[in-house]
Amino acid sequence: MTTRKTRVAIAGGGGRMGRMLVEASLEAEDIELAAVFDRPGSPHIGRDAGELIAQPCGVSITDDVAAAVAAADCIIDFTLPEGTLAHLAEARRQGKAMVIGTTGFNAEQKAEIAAAAESIPVVFAPNMAVGVNAVFKLLEVAARILDEGYDVEIIEAHHRLKVDAPSGTALRMGEIVARELGRDLESCAIYGREGVTGKREDSTIGFSTIRGGDVVGDHTVLFAGIGERIEITHKSGSRVSYARGALRGARFLAARTRGLFDMQDVLGLR
């Protein structure tokens, strides 16, 4: 008996992450690359999606979002918030699943994603890498243990083209630590320091952002105590971990009809 493959459509197929998703999809035996699409006016429209990774596959990049969504079971999107929401609306209209790895959403946009998940299944996570999600779980434990006498600082680094800061992953790390410490991140977060800032408040969680070169993504959560420091770090050397995690998300959604999930659900870490 042959198991039916999960058909995926890749958004932003001409971009760096899109190309990695195409490559990972072509390598996965249980995934069918059904469609690849990009923004209107992209120089990649009409090209074989596999040509961008020197692996022609017979799937042309299109700017017809509706047709791309219709061809797939699940849309995978790592683009920009406005584009992702437009693609989500089409997925909702057609009743298709969606994996969202895009970051930089505001509260209203996140609410829009949650509303869509009432009728279609959605995996929405700031970081799809399995290792990062293992770190999220480790942070829960660390924060519960290090709940007194430790200052928390979160340091993240990304490539020079990343448009949002702090990264979605850094913010999720802050949310996890704040939750376990019984704090509200919105009121205790400090995003950068300059000038005479005065003594550090015990309850704050600091964020530091680095942008430069081609750094894929580095994240460190520092618990600084008196006489010791504990650092929990994840470093990405390639986007392949994000792509493979996204495909795990697509497989997970194949058995769901609606609901909002994240990678902790996909990996069974709840």
- Catalytic positions: 158, 162
229-236 and 217-224: which strand pairing? antiparallel
* CA atoms within a 13 Å half-sphere pointing along the CA-CB vector of 24: 23
Those residues whose C-beta lies under 8 Å from the C-beta of residue 1, and which sit 6 or more positions away, are: none
Picking from 18, 118, 99, 31, the residue whose alpha carbon sits closest to that of residue 262 is: 99
Q: Work out the angle at residue 160's Cα, subtended by the Cα atoms of residues 13 and 122, and round it to the nearest 5 degrees.
A: 40
d(CA 121, CA 262): 11
Contact 72, 7 (CB under 8 A): yes
CB neighbour class for 177 (10 Å; exposed up to 12, middle 13-18, buried from 19): buried
Structure tokens, 154: 């979160």
Phi and psi (nearest 5°) for 227? 90, 0
Alpha-helical (H) ranges within the chain are 16-27, 65-70, 81-94, 107-116, 130-145, 168-180, 185-188, 240-253, 263-266
